[in-house]
Amino acid sequence: MQQNELIPHLFRTEYRKIISVLCKLFGVEHIATAEDIVSDTFLLAAETWGLKGLPNNPAAWLYMVAKNKAVDFLRRDTLFKQKISNVLQEQDMADTTPEIDLSTKNISDSQLQMMFAICHPAIPAEAQIGLSLSILCGFGAEEIADAFLSNKETIYKRLARAKEKLRTEKISIAIPAQQEIESRLHTVLTTLYLLFSEGYYSASQNTGLRKELCLEAMRLNLMLTEHEQTNIPAANALLALMCFHASRFEARINKQGEMVLYEEQDETIWNKALIQKGEYYLTRASTGNTLTKYHVEAAIAYWHTHKADTLEKWENILQLYNKLLQIEYTPIAALNRTYALSKANGKKEAIIQAEKLQLTNNHLYHSLLGNLYTSIDDAKALQHTKQALALAKTTADKETILKKINSFK
């Protein structure tokens, strides 16, 4: 890997690890200092490696430099005097270097603890996702702005307010007490769900699928399932849902970069290993007595890994949507249910149920009705499809809808 490719790659993989460890060490009120140290480390890497060439172990070089910078900060800062000097007086004064643990276990523990700090209920949901992308995933303000169709200035302000909230609320970087975990974990899972959803159906004008957002959500979710205190059924159900959806990534985009509808996807390029992982985590999620929306959505996604257009499949999906709407009603879930209804009971019944929703400002609503009216009333089908085009925001959606319009000619 060339230097111009290596540094961005290492920034994505190592930045988040070092940040979490330093934030845990310094305290949540010093997030900005931790970010400055890690940013300076990568800047020095770009300068040094450009002049002297790559070190034998670039990642280890980054860890060592970041560690040295952190030690320098602790030595000169009042934080060092207040929190560490007394401890060092009891030790051999010949060694006054504070311990900075960059072991694999401490990195993993620190990231998990940081996740709970960022997803504290005191922080607004949109800021939780932004902070997760920034601190836990290593995304820059421009990337976050792109993901949310915003601008860098807005994102900077949002992140600054969230960090200030962390400081003023004195939110600790730690796994909550056992009795608090389940209620706090709900917020964490919601954030990961929204992060994955933003990647899976991106609001970006340039792409309909952002794999890197999905993969980061999966990585963080995997950490939950690997930790004894947070390995609960809902976390496994959410990871199963992500695996099932991710298994079809390669089939969702064609060689021209266009979105491919589910019915047209080539199932031979679905990732069978991810489907098996999804089944594994769904089985792990089946313990206990609590049924969450993640369980039901994972089960729906599981049936979508069976390409055969059978009545059994769609009747199962329909019943699952009925259960999902009982657990948590959303207009989009209700809209998706009508598609399953059309497959199980026919288009005419589905049209009646879809039109009751009256989601007239949503392009997905008109796209669905365009599909349902096809072969029943092609004039209405074309009318709805054109309305869908007028309401669509992303290039990927518009291209897909234009293909449908051209099929009427």
The domain boundary residue, chosen from 36, 66, 90 = 90
Range of weakest confidence among 97-101, 105-109, 115-119, 197-201: 97-101
Q: What is residue 95's predicted lDDT score, i.e. its pLDDT? A: 47
Range of weakest confidence among 198-212, 234-248, 350-364: 198-212
Residue 255: inside a domain: no
Q: pLDDT band for position 13 (50/70/90)?
A: confident
Residue 84: inside a domain: yes
Alpha-carbon 176 to chain mean position: 22
Residue 59: inside a domain: yes
Residue 164: inside a domain: no
Residue 281: inside a domain: yes
DSSP string, 390-407: HH--SHHHHHHHHHHHHT
Would the pLDDT of 141 be above 90? no
Sign of CA dihedral 329, 335, 338, 343: negative
Average of per-residue pLDDT values in the chain: 86
Residue 179 tokens read as 């009795």
237: CB partners within 8 A, 6+ apart: 281, 282, 285, 292, 294, 295, 298
Which tens digit of pLDDT belongs to each residue from 314-362? 999 999 999 999 999 999 999 999 999 999 999 999 999 999 999 999 9
Residue 142: inside a domain: no
Percent of the chain with pLDDT over 70: 90
Residue 284: inside a domain: yes
Residue 11: inside a domain: yes
Q: pLDDT band for position 297 (50/70/90)?
A: very high
Q: What is residue 337's predicted lDDT score, i.e. its pLDDT? A: 97
Q: pLDDT band for position 136 (50/70/90)?
A: confident
Residue 344 corresponds to which amino acid? Answer: A
Question: Domain containing 273: what range?
Answer: 232-246+269-305
Would the pLDDT of 133 be above 50? yes
Would the pLDDT of 230 be above 70? yes
Range of weakest confidence among 91-100, 145-154, 365-374, 386-395: 91-100
Range of weakest confidence among 76-85, 198-207, 212-221, 298-307: 76-85
The domain boundary residue, chosen from 90, 124, 145 = 90
Q: pLDDT band for position 253 (50/70/90)?
A: confident
Q: What total of structural domains would you count in the chain?
A: 2
Would the pLDDT of 24 be above 70? yes
- Write b or e for each residue in 128-153: b if 16 or more Cβ atoms lie within 10 A of its Cβ, otherwise e: bbbbbbbbbbbbebebbbbbbebeee
1: CB partners within 8 A, 6+ apart: 9
| Residue where the block lists tokens 């054109």 | 386
CA dist 221 and 331 (Å) reads 26
Question: Which is more confident, 280 or 220?
Answer: 280
Q: pLDDT band for position 84 (50/70/90)?
A: low
pLDDT, average across residues 23-43 = 87
Q: What is residue 201's predicted lDDT score, i.e. its pLDDT? A: 76
